[in-house]
Amino acid sequence: MTIQQIQNELIEDFSLFDDWTQRYEYLIELGKSLPLIDEKYKTEEYLIKGCQSQVWLHAEEQDGKLIFTADSDAIITKGIVALLVKVFSDQTAEDILKADMSFIDKIGLKDHLSPTRANGLVSMIGQMRGYAAKVLGNR
């Protein structure tokens, strides 16, 4: 499935909920289904800078695609990183770097985050794109 197809699916999923309480519950559920990061990556090196909560992110390349794992100490933040892992994991570095992230606005996520969480979201996307750029630079 392409990044755009996944984003369209998420837009559809979020549209099923009447209010943001339900959408937050969905984010929390996404967080619970997140492929957990190996404990050895829960170090300062893998911590995303710019997040109010602690968020660890790891990526590795398998068969030309990036596979992301992550974790957070906050349930909403864990849901947000799970959303991004769902979008970017199992995609090529090229596709990650050129992805249009407008789905975040379409589901209304940025409007319903505190400024510090919104900054964290931007930092998470930046870190994931940083991994993709590093993979391309190593080729």
Residue 2 φ/ψ, nearest 5 degrees: -80, 165
Who contacts 135 (Cβ-Cβ below 8 Å, separation ≥6)?
59, 61, 66, 93
Of the residues 51, 66, 85, 132, which is catalytic?
51
Annotated catalytic, 51? yes
- AA letter at 104: I
Is residue 47 within 8 A of residue 55, CB to CB? The reply is yes
Amino acid (1-letter code) at residue 130: G
Q: Which residues are designated catalytic?
A: 51
